[in-house]
């Protein structure tokens, strides 16, 4: 199996789906000749030509709105928002139309499309290039929100997203794009959307994370084990909406303690929703309050301060220890 | 080097049938008599359908809806130029046009009575999109569909998209024109300039002298048409659709018309315009004007008119009866259509919803 980074892995998934299904096409700013500013679509133009790999004007609403039309007419568009910070311009088309056609027409018309966007901090980028706004998209019924954490699941999830019958917001943690490599099977691999995955087994505490937070979370889990012998079960959420809270609840029933890590601001975040669901489903199993290790409710600071504001391995470890010691 | 003009642009204007119902012989479209009569019937059915809905709305039997009275030529005549395999992408003020596409009043009543079932169009309406309420958003869908037709090699297929004067202030409209132009998309943009975006008059919408000219910035051809002239509207749309089908790309048509009634039944035009103004436009009503033309051609007379009115009444009676017989709505249908794949979270909420509904009913029994 070749070892790929996340950029190459998503590229592989896109390329294989385009080979498999000629209704799949890619559109967005700089996705063609430039191969995307992060090179996720590199080489696709040469392979599939300009009618399937479309450099569009800078108009996020139009990328989304025309993708809705294409999907209504039987194509499977994969649109790219260059950065999630610019994606809000397409929200009226996503919330107003992509999310609604199935319900609006009771299934007569559907909008199977994917909108990819790099998101999250940690790459010392300019303003609007570092936010984590997955909760914003997760709040729209009818929209699926998926966040991979590594090359292998990124490839399997982009494949699933393209084959999915619904609009999928596919958020790519840009800090993880080239941070590490994994073996990715050459044959197409599909991961079910709507399912979380236990990536490390443990019995004393459940640690939930997603995206770029997975790596510091796993490191923190190992460190706690080394330091005090506590075993931490780690769950990779993978699908933000519709969320697989069942897997988390089953784990917390076993461990009695839970820490949720998110890069995004705390207020109304995914970690808050997980906490609420655990209260609903496993309150009597909880030995300690659910701890949220999150970003702060401030406007995302410029990158000079960003390392102070992003959850770190240390903050996660302290959150775990505080919960274990409660 | 002296300054010089590098570009001069112009906006053509078309009127075939004048306000007295007299046709310009040179511009008169070559339409067979049965098509002319079909168009007249569609306009009458639209007008009478609106009247019927107004009555039902006042009786509280349906909710708010946007009548199309006064604009029948602007939306029915272009629809006459559509082929079945062309796409119809509407806004929300094209009632008669929808019926020409095979939709029916019973479904419209259902929709305006608050049920999505009204958007489950009858067989044969696969290429007719449902009502689109967000102003201007559907222009982009039309461009995407048009691109898909081109991409799939469905030659000889065009997309007709409707929107109002208000939509020309939306970003989506400009983005749609730009994308359509770049992609040479087979789409016809049809702006029903009915002079008001709810209360905001055309004069406060833009300083542009025409709405048509907004296409020129994208090098999209445009034309302004007397929107109450059924023949002018047909000719302009037929020509633009034919150009789109033959690979000539998009066109913007501005139909200058007037909304004779309210924006929706929740609106009171007395707040923002005068009776005198409305009366002036009533004189330009597209339906009598077209009738005079048909009579002049020997295609129409009072006997035929009477028969048509009776047939339309009967059709609408049947539609209202059909609507009133549709009563069994599955309460939990919204849970069926969140996603195309089942999910335990949604299913758990469905169970909760049904249980709560049952409790509500037994408590209120």
SS3 B192: strand
Work out the minimum CA distance from A180 to partner chain B, whole angstroms: 32
B104 contact partners, CB below 8 Å, separation of at least 6: B122, B319, B322
What pLDDT score was predicted for residue B359?
Answer: 97
Residue A189 lies in a domain: no
In this prediction the ipTM stands at: 0.97
Name the residue in chain B with its Cα closest to that of A65. Answer: B140
Whether residues A70 and B336 touch (CB distance < 8 A) is answered with: no
Q: Domain tally for chain A?
A: 2
Inter-residue contact B360 to B331 (CB < 8 Å): no
Inter-residue contact B233 to B77 (CB < 8 Å): yes
Q: Quick one: A155 and A272 in the same domain?
A: no
Q: Quick one: A232 and A100 in the same domain?
A: no
Q: Which of B118, B127, B337 is the best substitution to test chain A (most A C-beta atoms within 10 A)?
A: B337
Put simply, the chain A residues between 212 and 271 with a CB less than 8 A from any chain B CB are: 242-246
Name the residue in chain B with its Cα closest to that of A72. Answer: B145
Which residues in chain B are contacts of A93 at CB distance < 8 A? 137, 140, 172
- Across A250-262, average pLDDT: 98
Residue A190 lies in a domain: no
Q: Which residues pair with B160 in a beta bridge?
A: B88, B188
Q: Which of B87, B118, B141 is the best substitution to test chain A (most A C-beta atoms within 10 A)?
A: B141
- The more confidently predicted of residues B155 and A232 is A232
What pLDDT score was predicted for residue A31?
Answer: 98
Structure tokens at A94: 């996503």
Put simply, the chain B residues between 252 and 281 with a CB less than 8 A from any chain A CB are: none
B328 pLDDT band (50/70/90 cuts)? confident
Computed over every residue of chain A, the mean pLDDT equals: 97
State whether residue B345 sits within 8 Å of chain A by CB: yes
CATH number at residue A64: 3.40.50.970
State whether residue A105 sits within 8 Å of chain B by CB: yes
The DSSP string of B127-149 is: TBPPP--STTTHHHHHHHHHHHH
Residue A10 lies in a domain: yes
Query: What DSSP character marks residue B122?
Result: P
Q: CA end-to-end span of chain A, whole Å?
A: 45
- Across B138-154, average pLDDT: 98
Give the orientation angle of helix B138-151 with respect to helix B171-182, to 10 degrees.
Answer: 10
- Angle, alpha carbons A70-A71-A72 (nearest 5°): 90
Put simply, the chain A residues between 45 and 64 with a CB less than 8 A from any chain B CB are: 51, 56-57, 59, 61-62, 64
- Across A295-318, average pLDDT: 96
Which residues in chain A are contacts of B87 at CB distance < 8 A? 73
Whether residues B119 and A104 touch (CB distance < 8 A) is answered with: yes
Q: Is the dihedral of CA B253, B254, B258, B263 positive or negative?
A: positive
Q: Encode chain A in three state secondary structure.
A: CCEECHHHHHHHHHHHHHHHCCCEEEEECCCCCCCCCCCCCCCHHHHHCCCCEEECCCCHHHHHHHHHHHHHCCCEEEEECCCHHHHHHHHHHHHHHHCCHHHHCCCCCCCCCEEEEEECCCCCCCCCCCCCCHHHHHCCCCCEEECCCCHHHHHHHHHHHHHCCCCEEEEEEHHHCCCCCEECCCCCCCCCCCCCEEEECCCCEEEEECHHHHHHHHHHHHHHHHHHCCCEEEEECCEEECCCHHHHHHHHHHHCCEEEEEEEECCCCHHHHHHHHHHHHHHHHCCCCCEEEEECCCCCCCCCCHHHHCCCHHHHHHHHHHHHHC
Q: Quick one: A32 and A160 in the same domain?
A: yes
- Condensed to tens digits (0 to 9), the pLDDT of residues A92-107 reads 999 999 999 999 999 9
User: Given the structure tokens 């090359």, which residue do they identify?
Assistant: A151
From CA B353, how far away is CA B365, in angstroms rounded? 18
**Residue A91, class by beta-carbon neighbours within 10 Å (0-12 exposed, 13-18 middle, 19+ buried)?**
middle
Which residues in chain B are contacts of A57 at CB distance < 8 A? 175, 178-179, 182
Whether residues A65 and B121 touch (CB distance < 8 A) is answered with: no
Which residues in chain B are contacts of A48 at CB distance < 8 A? none
- Across B206-226, average pLDDT: 98
For A282, the domain range is 197-325
Q: Quick one: A162 and A99 in the same domain?
A: yes
Q: Quick one: A51 and A166 in the same domain?
A: yes
- Across B266-285, average pLDDT: 96
From CA B80, how far away is CA B115, in angstroms rounded? 28
- Condensed to tens digits (0 to 9), the pLDDT of residues A10-23 reads 999 999 999 999 99
Residue closest to A120 by CA, chosen among A298, A295, A308: A295
What pLDDT score was predicted for residue A274?
Answer: 98
Res. A1: pLDDT tops 80: no
- Condensed to tens digits (0 to 9), the pLDDT of residues B312-321 reads 999 999 999 9
Give the pairing of strands A76-80 and B196-197.
unpaired
Inter-residue contact A217 to A207 (CB < 8 Å): yes
Of B142, B149, B337, nearest to A102 by CB-CB distance is B337
Res. B141: pLDDT tops 80: yes
State whether residue A99 sits within 8 Å of chain B by CB: no
Which residues in chain A are contacts of B134 at CB distance < 8 A? 92, 96-97
Name the residue in chain A with its Cα closest to that of B87. Answer: A73
State whether residue B362 sits within 8 Å of chain A by CB: no
Provide the b/e sequence for A56-68 (b: ≥16 CB within 10 Å). beebbbbbbbbbb
State whether residue A168 sits within 8 Å of chain B by CB: no
What pLDDT score was predicted for residue A73?
Answer: 98
Q: Quick one: A221 and A163 in the same domain?
A: no
Q: Quick one: A282 and A167 in the same domain?
A: no
Give the orientation angle of helix A214-228 with respect to helix A313-325, to 10 degrees.
Answer: 50
pTM for the structure as a whole: 0.97
- Please give the backbone phi and psi of residue B204, each rounded to the nearest 5 degrees, phi first: -100, 0
Q: Of A131, A151, A183, at which residue does a domain stop? A: A183
State whether residue B340 sits within 8 Å of chain A by CB: yes
Which residues in chain A are contacts of B334 at CB distance < 8 A? 103
Q: Which of B175, B326, B350 is the best substitution to test chain A (most A C-beta atoms within 10 A)?
A: B175
Catalytic residue among A97, A128, A129, A219: A129
Would you put residue B102 in left (φ > 0), alpha (ψ -120 to 50) or beta? left
From CA A29, how far away is CA B349, in angstroms rounded? 39
Q: Which of B179, B347, B351 is the best substitution to test chain A (most A C-beta atoms within 10 A)?
A: B179
Residue A150 lies in a domain: yes
CA A154 to chain centre: 9
Q: Is the peptide bond before A242 cis (omega within 30 degrees of 0)?
A: yes
- Condensed to tens digits (0 to 9), the pLDDT of residues A127-172 reads 999 999 999 999 999 999 999 999 999 999 999 999 999 999 999 9
CA B41 to chain centre: 16
Whether residues A102 and B344 touch (CB distance < 8 A) is answered with: no
Inter-residue contact A116 to A79 (CB < 8 Å): yes
Structure tokens at B205: 């919408």
- Please give the backbone phi and psi of residue B252, each rounded to the nearest 5 degrees, phi first: -110, 125
What pLDDT score was predicted for residue B18?
Answer: 96
Residue A192 lies in a domain: no
- Of all residues in chain A, what percent carry a pLDDT higher than 90? 99
Residue closest to A249 by CA, chosen among A220, A279, A270, A217: A279
Whether residues A74 and B148 touch (CB distance < 8 A) is answered with: yes
Which residues in chain A are contacts of B146 at CB distance < 8 A? 69
Q: Quick one: A140 and A33 in the same domain?
A: yes
Q: Quick one: A49 and A171 in the same domain?
A: yes
Query: What DSSP character marks residue B299?
Result: S
Residue A241 lies in a domain: yes
Name the residue in chain A with its Cα closest to that of B180. Answer: A66
Q: Quick one: A273 and A297 in the same domain?
A: yes
CA A81 to chain centre: 14
SS3 B364: helix
State whether residue B343 sits within 8 Å of chain A by CB: yes
Q: Of A134, A153, A183, at which residue does a domain stop? A: A183
Of A92, A106, A245, nearest to B120 by CB-CB distance is A106
Structure tokens at A198: 């236990």
What pLDDT score was predicted for residue B122?
Answer: 85
Inter-residue contact B58 to B72 (CB < 8 Å): no
Provide the b/e sequence for B6-23 (b: ≥16 CB within 10 Å). eeeeebeebbbbeeebeb
- Condensed to tens digits (0 to 9), the pLDDT of residues B80-105 reads 999 999 999 999 999 999 999 999 99
Q: Quick one: A125 and A60 in the same domain?
A: yes
Q: Quick one: A147 and A201 in the same domain?
A: no
Computed over every residue of chain B, the mean pLDDT equals: 97
From CA A295, how far away is CA B365, in angstroms rounded? 50
- The more confidently predicted of residues B327 and A191 is A191
State whether residue A164 sits within 8 Å of chain B by CB: yes
Residue A191 lies in a domain: no
A128 is catalytic: no
Which residues in chain B are contacts of A67 at CB distance < 8 A? 144
State whether residue A22 sits within 8 Å of chain B by CB: no
B1 pLDDT band (50/70/90 cuts)? confident
Sheet of A168-173: strands edge to edge? A53-55, A24-28, A76-80, A114-119, A168-173, A144-146, A239-241
Res. B30: pLDDT tops 80: yes
Structure tokens at A192: 């079910």
Residue A173 lies in a domain: yes
Interface size A-B, in CB pairs within 8 Å, comes to: 142
SS3 B252: strand
Catalytic residues of B: 259, 263, 272
Which residues in chain A are contacts of B144 at CB distance < 8 A? 65-73, 77
């Amino acid at each position: 199996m070749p070892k790929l980074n996340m950029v190459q892995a998503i590229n592989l998934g896109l390329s294989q789906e385009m080979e498999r299904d000629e209704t799949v096409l890619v559109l967005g700013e700089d996705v063609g000749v430039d191969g995307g500013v992060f090179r996720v679509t590199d080489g696709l133009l040469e392979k599939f030509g300009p009618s399937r790999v479309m450099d569009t004007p800078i108009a996020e609403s139009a990328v989304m709105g025309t993708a809705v039309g294409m999907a209504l007419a039987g194509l499977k568009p994969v649109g790219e928002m260059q950065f999630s910070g610019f994606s809000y311009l397409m929200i009226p088309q996503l919330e107003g139309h992509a999310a609604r056609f199935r319900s609006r027409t009771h299934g007569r018309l559907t909008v199977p499309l994917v909108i990819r966007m790099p998101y999250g901090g940690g790459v010392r980028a300019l303003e609007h290039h570092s936010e984590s706004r997955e909760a914003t998209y997760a709040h729209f019924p009818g929209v699926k929100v998926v966040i991979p954490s590594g090359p292998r699941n990124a490839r399997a999830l982009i494949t699933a997203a393209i084959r999915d019958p619904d609009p999928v917001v596919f958020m790519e943690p840009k800090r993880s794009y080239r941070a590490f490599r994994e073996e990715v099977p050459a044959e197409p691999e599909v991961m079910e959307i709507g399912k979380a995955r236990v990536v490390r087994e443990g019995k004393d505490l459940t640690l939930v994370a997603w995206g770029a937070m997975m790596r510091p979370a796993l490191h923190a889990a190992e460190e706690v084990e080394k330091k005090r012998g506590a075993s931490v079960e780690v769950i990779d959420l993978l699908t933000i909406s519709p969320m697989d809270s069942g897997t988390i609840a089953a784990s917390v029933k076993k461990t009695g303690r839970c820490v949720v890590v998110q890069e995004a601001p705390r207020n109304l975040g995914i970690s808050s929703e997980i906490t609420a669901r655990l209260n609903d489903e496993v309150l009597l199993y909880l030995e300690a309050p659910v701890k949220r290790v999150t970003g702060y409710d401030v406007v995302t600071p410029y990158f000079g301060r960003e390392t102070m504001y992003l959850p770190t391995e240390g903050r996660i470890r302290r959150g775990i220890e505080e919960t274990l010691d409660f | 080097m002296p300054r010089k003009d590098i570009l001069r642009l112009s906006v053509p204007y078309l009127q075939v049938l004048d306000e007295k119902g007299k046709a310009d012989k040179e511009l008169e479209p070559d339409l067979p008599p049965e098509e002319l009569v079909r168009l007249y019937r569609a306009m009458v059915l639209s007008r009478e359908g609106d009247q019927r809905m107004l009555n039902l709305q006042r009786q509280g039997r349906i909710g708010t809806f946007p009548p199309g009275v006064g604009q029948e030529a602007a939306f029915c005549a272009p629809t006459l130029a559509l082929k079945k395999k062309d796409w119809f992408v509407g806004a929300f003020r094209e009632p008669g046009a929808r019926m020409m596409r095979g939709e029916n009043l019973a479904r419209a009543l259902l929709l305006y009575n608050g049920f999505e079932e009204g958007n489950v169009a009858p067989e044969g309406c696969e290429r007719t999109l449902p009502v689109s309420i967000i102003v201007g958003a559907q222009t982009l869908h039309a461009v995407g569909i048009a691109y898909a037709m081109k991409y799939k090699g469905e030659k000889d297929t065009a997309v007709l998209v409707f929107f109002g004067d208000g939509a020309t202030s939306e970003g989506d409209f400009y983005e749609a024109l730009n994308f359509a132009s770049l992609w040479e998309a087979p789409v016809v943009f049809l702006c029903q300039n009915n002079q008001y975006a709810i209360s905001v008059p055309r004069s406060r919408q833009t300083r542009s002298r025409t709405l048509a000219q907004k296409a020129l910035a994208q090098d999209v051809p445009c034309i302004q048409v007397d929107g109450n002239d059924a023949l002018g509207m047909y000719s302009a749309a037929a020509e633009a659709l034919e150009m789109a089908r033959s690979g000539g790309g998009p066109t913007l048509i501005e139909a200058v018309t007037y909304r004779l009634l309210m924006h929706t039944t929740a609106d009171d035009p007395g707040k923002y315009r005068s009776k005198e103004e409305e009366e002036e436009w009533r004189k330009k009503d597209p339906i009598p004007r077209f009738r005079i033309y048909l009579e002049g051609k020997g295609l129409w007379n009072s006997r035929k008119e009477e028969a048509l009115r009776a047939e339309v009444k009967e059709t609408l009676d049947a539609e209202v009866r059909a609507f009133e017989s549709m009563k069994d709505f599955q309460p939990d249908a919204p849970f069926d259509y969140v996603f195309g794949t089942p999910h335990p979270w949604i299913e758990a909420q469905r169970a909760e919803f049904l249980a709560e509904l049952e409790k509500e009913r037994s408590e209120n029994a």
